[in-house]
């Protein structure tokens, strides 16, 4: 004779269903609190799993810029650092209004964090990182890679540490931030929206519209007239960042860069998001405007170690 | 149903889904990111082998709740908790009701049932999130992604079913068969 397992009390199921409905209707505030326990539940097992995932994906990521040997990589890092230092000094000299403006020196603390887990479903492009309010992180903070920078950071004096921010790539910003963990919204997530700038490559000849007080002219691009273009960057939920409503008069081409502004040691500096890989007519505004598809500068699938850029603020200041 | 073992299995599957599944995820231009829903495979398996309807639905609810806790983004803002547990329970009920009509040991059947389960659960989840969010932006794109995720899960379902079959005794109680003597004596 086979023994039949008894059915659970139907009220158990009814209560569970009712709980789901109540949680769903109670909104995101309750969801945030309920989800606060998830990082502690997933814990070290997820961390180990993420290590395997990022290592595996990283080994398959083909990056044309990565040199074959460590010596070449170190040399490239050195010359990139030198070039940036020179550029910063040049900027300070040529832009005194920014360098000596009333804005006092706003420093940024780099909070190291580790990617511990990802989203359970394919729809979200978020990560859980191992730093939270206890470490100084807050919702809205920008998050960058830690690639290329570690050696330079060690070599620099602590008060000059900001210089290391300049050539990293932005990977996202923080969403809900708990005591010890935070949710990183990747640049490709649908919830990612951030003011950004398009940096046009002067080495690619093109005619651009130049707005000067009193007149608008069309000129060939040069270092003098190549101003960055303000725009809104949005994630497409897949593998790219989308920029809508870019005027065709601005002549943005494939190969130009998308970046965000971060306050450096003396002045605002750009942190790269990615490179424009495709320009099409804007689906909403028509032929006079472009929609740009930007490929992130880093492979987000193999992202493991990040820096959270936390502004160091005085009492009463709000820089986030 | 061995509930403690089942919850341990759900926990392990959640860890796999939030970490290792990113290895086999990929992007399709017109669809978006596609990754398998491993928890759905477990839910389909339990729906096919579970002892009765309420047990299956409660187990599926727990699995959906686990996914709910770890599925935060994707609809343009943070998602609400709750819709996936409901959707899993309803989809598991659907599979349970049809299991007598199908030959569940066949790989194609397993794949088809996983496809139906994922299409039902995920489209309910996406729709519920859109309603709760109060906007229908990205809905078409998300539904395309639902189809992609469902097909991917369906393709992997036979392998998942085989793996779960080998460990089935750990979390689903087998019907107790009587000994020869008890069958003879009726006790």
A120 CB within 8 Å of a chain B CB: yes
Q: Which has the higher per-residue pLDDT, B176 or A34?
A: A34
Contacts of B29 in chain A (CB under 8 A): 238
Q: Give me the residue from B70, B76, B82 closest to A24, CB to CB.
A: B82
Say if A13 falls within a structural domain.
no
Among residues A105, A233, A238, A253, which one has the least CA distance to residue A169? A233
CA B6 to chain centre: 13
C-beta neighbour count of A77 within 10 angstroms:
18
**Model confidence at A80: pLDDT above 80:** no
Among residues B26, B59, B57, which one has the least CA distance to residue B164? B59
Contacts of A19 in chain B (CB under 8 A): 82
Specify whether A163 is located in the same domain as A122: yes
**Model confidence at A29: pLDDT above 70:** yes
Say if A158 falls within a structural domain.
yes
- Output the pLDDT for position B55: 93
**Model confidence at B3: pLDDT above 60:** yes
User: What pLDDT band is residue A61 in, cutting at 50, 70 and 90?
Assistant: low
CA A259 to chain centre: 9
Q: Give the whole-angstrom CA distance, residue A299 versus residue B23.
A: 13
Which tens digit of pLDDT belongs to each residue from A245-291? 999 888 899 989 999 887 655 556 778 899 999 999 888 888 889 99
Which tens digit of pLDDT belongs to each residue from B123-163? 999 999 999 888 888 899 999 999 999 999 999 999 999 99
Q: Which residues contact A117 (CB under 8 A, 6 or more apart)?
A: A39, A42, A46, A47, A49, A50, A127, A128, B15, B18, B19, B70
Looking at A212-226, B92-106, B136-150, which range is the least confident one?
A212-226
What percent of chain B is modeled with pLDDT above 90? 68
Chain B closest-CA separation from residue A32 CA (Å)? 8
Interstrand relation of A305-311 and B26-28 (parallel, antiparallel or unpaired): unpaired
Helix (H) or strand (E) segment spanning residue B33: strand B32-34
Specify whether A156 is located in the same domain as A231: no
Domain ranges, residue A172: 57-189+305-311
- Max CA-CA distance within chain B? 67
Residue A144: strand pairing partners? A170, A307
Please state the pTM of the whole predicted model. 0.81
Burial A158-192 (b: 16+ CB within 10 A, else e): eeebbbbbbbbbbbbbbbbbbeebbbbbbbbbbbb
Q: Do A225 and A211 form a contact (C-beta atoms < 8 A)?
A: no
Q: Which has the higher per-residue pLDDT, A235 or A71?
A: A235
Specify whether A147 is located in the same domain as A223: no
Q: How many domains does chain A have?
A: 2
Q: Give the whole-angstrom CA distance, residue B126 versus residue B76.
A: 11
Say if A34 falls within a structural domain.
no
Which tens digit of pLDDT belongs to each residue from A296-310? 988 888 888 898 888
**Model confidence at A317: pLDDT above 80:** no
Say if A14 falls within a structural domain.
no
Chain B closest-CA separation from residue A287 CA (Å)? 22
- Output the pLDDT for position A205: 87
What mean pLDDT do residues B12-34 have?
Answer: 91
**Model confidence at B120: pLDDT above 90:** yes
Minimum Cα–Cα distance from A51: chain B residue: B19
**B-interface mutation test, from A121, A187, A241, A304, most B Cβ less than 10 A away:** A121
Specify whether A66 is located in the same domain as A178: yes
Specify whether A198 is located in the same domain as A295: yes
Say if A99 falls within a structural domain.
yes
Minimum Cα–Cα distance from A58: chain B residue: B23
**Model confidence at A315: pLDDT above 70:** no
Average pLDDT of chain A?
Answer: 78
Say if A198 falls within a structural domain.
yes
Specify whether A84 is located in the same domain as A112: yes
Residue B149 burial by Cβ neighbours in a 10 Å radius (0-12, 13-18, 19+): buried
Specify whether A260 is located in the same domain as A295: yes
Specify whether A185 is located in the same domain as A197: no
Q: Give the whole-angstrom CA distance, residue B145 versus residue B138.
A: 10
User: What pLDDT band is residue A101 in, cutting at 50, 70 and 90?
Assistant: very low
Which tens digit of pLDDT belongs to each residue from A143-201? 988 764 433 444 444 444 444 444 578 999 998 888 888 999 999 999 999 999 999 98
**Cβ <8 Å between B74 and A13:** no
Looking at A33-47, A224-238, B116-130, which range is the least confident one?
A33-47
Say which CATH number the domain at A238 has.
2.40.10
- Output the pLDDT for position B65: 95
Q: Which has the higher per-residue pLDDT, A57 or B119?
A: B119
Token pair for residue A32? 């945030």
B135 CB within 8 Å of a chain A CB: no
Q: Give me the residue from A19, A45, A237 closest to B138, CB to CB.
A: A237
Q: Give the whole-angstrom CA distance, residue B154 versus residue B114.
A: 5
Specify whether A100 is located in the same domain as A165: yes
Token pair for residue A66? 């990565």
C-beta neighbour count of A228 within 10 angstroms:
14
Residue B162 burial by Cβ neighbours in a 10 Å radius (0-12, 13-18, 19+): exposed
Q: Give the whole-angstrom CA distance, residue A114 versus residue A18.
A: 37
What percent of chain A is modeled with pLDDT above 90? 25
Say which CATH number the domain at A82 has.
2.40.10.340
Q: Give the whole-angstrom CA distance, residue B114 versus residue B95.
A: 9
Specify whether A158 is located in the same domain as A125: yes
Q: Which of A38-42, A206-210, B120-124 has the highest mean pLDDT?
A: B120-124
Specify whether A173 is located in the same domain as A197: no
Say if A219 falls within a structural domain.
yes
Specify whether A282 is located in the same domain as A197: yes
Contacts of B66 in chain A (CB under 8 A): 120
Q: Do A182 and A128 form a contact (C-beta atoms < 8 A)?
A: yes
**Cβ <8 Å between A16 and B75:** no
Q: Give the whole-angstrom CA distance, residue A320 versus residue A263.
A: 11
Residue A275 burial by Cβ neighbours in a 10 Å radius (0-12, 13-18, 19+): middle
Say if A173 falls within a structural domain.
yes
ipTM: 0.87
- CA distances to A88, A214, B33 from A239, rounded to whole Å, are 32, 42, 8
**Cβ <8 Å between B19 and A301:** no
- CA distances to A63, A77, A219, B160 from A202, rounded to whole Å, are 24, 23, 12, 54
């Amino acid at each position: 004779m086979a023994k039949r397992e008894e059915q659970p009390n139907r009220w158990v199921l009814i209560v569970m269903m009712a709980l789901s409905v109540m949680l769903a209707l109670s909104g995101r505030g309750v969801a945030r609190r309920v989800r606060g326990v998830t990082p502690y539940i997933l814990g070290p097992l997820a961390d180990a799993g993420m290590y395997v995932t990022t290592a595996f994906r990283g080994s398959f990521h083909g990056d044309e810029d990565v040199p074959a040997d460590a010596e070449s990589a170190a040399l490239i890092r050195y010359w990139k650092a030198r070039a940036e230092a020179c550029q910063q000094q040049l900027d300070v000299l040529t832009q005194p209004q920014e360098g000596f403006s009333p804005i006092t020196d706003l420093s940024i603390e780099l909070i190291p964090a580790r990617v511990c887990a990802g989203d359970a479903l394919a729809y979200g492009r978020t990560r859980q990182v191992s730093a939270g309010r206890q470490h100084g992180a807050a919702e809205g903070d920008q998050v960058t890679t830690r690639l290329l920078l570690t050696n330079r950071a060690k070599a620099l004096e602590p008060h000059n540490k900001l210089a290391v921010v300049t050539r990293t790539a932005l990977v996202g910003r923080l969403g809900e931030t708990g005591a010890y963990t935070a949710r990183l919204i990747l640049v490709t997530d649908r919830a990612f929206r951030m003011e950004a700038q398009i940096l046009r490559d002067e080495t690619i000849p093109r005619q651009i519209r130049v707005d000067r007080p009193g007149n608008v002219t069309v000129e060939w691009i040069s270092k003098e007239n190549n101003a960055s273009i303000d725009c809104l960057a949005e994630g497409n939920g897949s593998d790219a960042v989308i920029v809508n409503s870019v005027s065709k008069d601005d002549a943005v081409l494939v190969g130009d860069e998308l970046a965000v502004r971060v306050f450096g040691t003396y002045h605002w500096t750009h942190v790269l998001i990615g490179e424009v890989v495709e320009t099409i007519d804007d689906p909403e505004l028509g032929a006079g405007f472009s929609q740009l598809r930007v490929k992130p500068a880093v492979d987000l699938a193999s992202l493991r170690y990040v820096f959270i850029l936390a502004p160091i603020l005085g009492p009463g200041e709000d820089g986030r | 149903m061995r509930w403690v073992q089942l919850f341990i299995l759900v926990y392990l599957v959640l860890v796999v889904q939030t970490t290792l599944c990113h290895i086999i995820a990929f992007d399709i231009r017109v669809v978006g990111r596609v990754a398998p829903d491993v928890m759905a495979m477990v839910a389909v398996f339990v729906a096919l082998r579970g002892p009765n309807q309420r047990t299956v639905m409660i187990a599926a609810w727990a699995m959906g709740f686990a996914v709910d806790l770890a599925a935060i983004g994707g609809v343009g803002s943070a998602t609400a908790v709750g819709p996936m547990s409901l959707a899993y329970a309803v989809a598991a009920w659907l599979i349970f009701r049809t299991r007598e009509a199908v030959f569940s040991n066949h790989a194609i059947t397993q794949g088809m049932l996983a496809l139906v389960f994922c299409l039902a659960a995920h489209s309910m989840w996406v729709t519920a999130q859109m309603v709760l969010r109060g906007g229908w932006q990205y809905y078409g794109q998300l539904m395309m992604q639902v189809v992609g995720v469902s097909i991917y899960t369906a393709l992997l379902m036979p392998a998942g079913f085989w793996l779960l079959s080998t460990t089935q005794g750990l979390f689903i109680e087998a019907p107790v068969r009587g000994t020869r003597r008890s069958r003879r004596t009726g006790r």
